[in-house]
Amino acid sequence: MEFKKNDLVQVTIEDMSHEGAGIGKADGYTLFIKDAVIGDKVEAKIMKTKKHYGFARLMKVLEPSKDRVEAKCPQARACGGCQLQFMNYEAQLAFKKNKVEANLRRIGGFDNFTIEKVIGMEDPWRYRNKAQFPFGKDKEGNIVTGFYAGRTHSIIPNRNCLLGVEVNEMTLNEIISYMEENKVEPYDETTGKGLIRHVLIRYGFTTKEIMVCLIINGTSIPNAEALCRQLAKISGMTSITLNVNKKQTNVILGDEILPLWGRETITDYIGDIKYQISPLSFYQVNPVQTVKLYQTALEYARLDGNETVWDLYCGIGTISLFLAQKAKQVYGVEIVPAAIEDAKKNAALNKIENAEFYVGKAEEVLPEKYEKDGVYADVIVVDPPRKGCDETLLSTMLQMKPKRIVYVSCDSATLARDLKILCEENYQLEKVAVCDMFPSSVHVETVACLERK
Ligand code: SAH
């Protein structure tokens, strides 16, 4: 049977895509249905058809899956942020474990391995220490803030995202009342006019320090004292700054920071290590899970204090400093110069003297140091972005023959691809752990340990 747009069909969901859409068949034709859960029987409306599969919109759940739950957030379907809010947390973790397993099997060609642990959260809500809210206007001309609807830039008003901390809402309320009282206009993407684009809010989970950075299409705001006075009433307020971004772009932050009130950075801890975080710093967004992730990386590295360790794609040195507590010497490599500045500052702040950092591409720095200076590694840790490691880097790692490689990954597909190359001859996949850094989303972090044969 041929389906066309707007046809209504009944589908039993049998599988889920790695992006979190339910998959089921209508008359043998495969349909992807967002917000449907494995085990659901649903009524769906065909939206788009292709030769071998199509996309349909969930209209009604006819018989709910045993894993289906009521979404906690009233905006869950409209907002682009959460893909798995309709599944109970155990089912979310099972989905993530399956996804990693499937990629390691299918792409990596591994068949003899087990996922040793799946590290979930005790309370999978309000885990984010960072949020960026855009400002705009609704049809009536009221200033609104919230989140972009999936794949678009229309703002769904929501000051109380359940993944973010509670202080976000108080902060947003103060900013909007300041804007209303002082007639400060939100930025309009289509015209390029208006002043306030976004606000970046960060919260130190251990220190309770709050950072507010307003991203503006200009270099100052009217009556800044009034804004600071209002925000300073919030307990924990530590840093208020402006960030200048006058470009017509989707990139949220510009390069320039102008201090308004308090300090320019906030402090937070991961385990025993203290970090100084500026509005522009990269910093893991789920501090509770980050500790567990790094502890797993450290556990897999099995250091006894005599090792030389390379931490590639080190960011602000978070993993490096963790490893430095147990290694003889750690070298970090990262492409963003500002992140390396932070890494060095954070090493000094923690009086860690056995960590050294280099700016550059991992696939250039490591081969060069290896060929020219003959550097050595007992253990190599990598934590690349989604696209994974460059092949030149993998081949240098193989030549350096560390006794162990710990691969931390935010994309299990590229992880599987890279592990396949590393395990062709001299290494074997020893252990895999899955860590849930982003409950309610489809993202999953994986740590794999390779041993030299
Ligand atoms: N390990 C860090 C950061 C991991 S995110 C942490 O846990 O905080 C990946 C990092 O890789 C980012 O900081 C990014 O800037 C960096 N990066 C991207 N491409 C790179 C490359 N070719 N060489 C080195 N670093 C790179």
> Which CATH number fits the domain that encloses residue 35?
2.40.50.140
Q: Which residues pair with 380 in a beta bridge?
A: 310, 405
Q: What is the Å distance from ligand 1's center to 285 Cα?
A: 15
Cβ density class 358-384: b for 16+ within 10 Å, e for less:
bbebbbebbbebbeeeeeebbbbbbbb
**Does 434 reside within a domain?**
yes
If asked whether residues 428 and 340 sit together in one domain, one would say yes
Give pLDDT, residue 1: 65
Region of 109 on the Ramachandran plot (φ > 0 left; ψ -120 to 50 alpha; else beta): left
Residue 278 lies in a domain: no
Number of domains in the chain: 3
CA 218 to CA 223: how far, in whole Å? 14
Do residues 318 and 442 both lie within one domain? yes
Q: Are residues 36 and 171 in the same domain?
A: no
Residue of 243, 270, 238, 273 whose CA lies nearest to 255: 243
Distance separating alpha carbons of residues 428 and 332, to the nearest angstrom: 24
Using the mean position of ligand 1's atoms as its centre, give its distance from the Cα of residue 383 in Å. Answer: 7
211 lies in the same domain as 302: no
Q: According to the model, what pLDDT value does residue 360 have?
A: 97
**Per-residue pLDDT, 59:** 97
What's the gap between Cα 376 and its chain centre?
32
Q: Report pLDDT for 113.
A: 93
Q: Is 313 annotated as a binding residue?
A: yes
For ligand 1, whether the C-beta of 439 sits within 6 Å is no
Residue 148's pLDDT is what? 86
Give the total residue count for the chain: 453
Q: In terms of domains, do 228 and 259 share one?
A: yes
Tens of each residue's pLDDT in the chain, 453 residues: 689 999 999 999 999 998 999 999 999 999 999 999 999 999 999 999 999 999 999 999 999 999 999 999 999 988 878 999 999 999 999 999 999 999 999 999 999 899 999 999 999 999 999 999 999 999 999 999 999 886 777 899 999 999 999 999 999 999 999 999 999 999 998 899 999 999 999 999 999 999 999 999 999 999 999 999 999 999 999 999 999 999 998 899 999 999 999 999 999 999 999 999 999 888 999 999 999 999 999 999 999 999 999 999 999 999 999 999 999 999 999 999 989 999 999 999 999 999 999 999 999 999 999 999 999 999 999 999 999 999 999 999 999 999 999 999 999 999 999 999 999 999 999 999 999 999 999 999 999 999 999
Q: Is there a single domain that holds both residue 147 and residue 107? A: no
One domain for residues 349 and 297: yes
User: Which of these three, 214, 240, 270, is where a domain ends?
Assistant: 270
The model's pTM is 0.93
- Domain membership of residue 73 (yes or no) is no
Phi, psi of 202 (to 5 degrees): -125, 150
Distance 322 CA to ligand 1 centre (A): 16
Quick one: pLDDT at residue 203? Answer: 98
Please work out, in degrees rounded to the nearest 5, the angle formed at the alpha carbon of residue 394 by the alpha carbons of 319 and 308. 45
The answer to whether the annotation marks 284 as part of a ligand binding site is yes
- How far, in Å, CA of 287 to CA of 35, rounded? 28
Q: For 90-98, which contacts have Cβ atoms below 8 Å and span 24 or more sequence positions?
A: 91/37, 91/38, 91/67, 92/124, 92/436, 92/439, 92/440, 93/118, 93/120, 93/434, 93/436, 95/16, 95/20, 95/442, 96/434, 96/436, 96/442, 96/444, 97/434
Nearest CA among 350, 354, 347, 299 for reference residue 331: 354
Q: How far is the CA of 336 from the centre of ligand 1 (A)?
A: 8
Are 407 and 297 contained in the same domain? yes
**Chain position carrying tokens 């409306």:** 45
Q: Ligand 1 pocket test: which of 273, 313, 320, 342 has the largest number of ligand atoms within 8 Å of its C-beta?
A: 313
* Of the residues 32, 50, 67, the one at which a domain ends: 67
Q: Is residue 82 part of a domain?
A: no
> Could you give the CA distance from residue 343 to residue 101 in angstroms, rounded to a whole number?
33
155, 118: one domain: no
| Whether residues 108 and 177 fall in one domain | no
Q: What gap in Å lies between CA 88 and CA 410, rounded to an integer? A: 22
CB 317 within 8 A of CB 355: yes
| Spatial distance between the Cα atoms of 53 and 370, rounded to a whole number of angstroms | 49
**Residue 262, domain extent:** 130-270
* Per-residue CA distances from 247 to 23, 90, 250, 254 (Å): 41, 43, 9, 8
Residues 304 and 367 in one domain: yes
392 Cβ inside 6 Å of ligand 1? no
Nearest protein Cα to ligand 1, atom 13: 315
Catalytic residue list: 410
What is the CATH classification number for the domain harbouring 355? 3.40.50.150
The answer on 416 and 335 residing in a single domain is yes
Residue 376 is labelled as binding a ligand: no
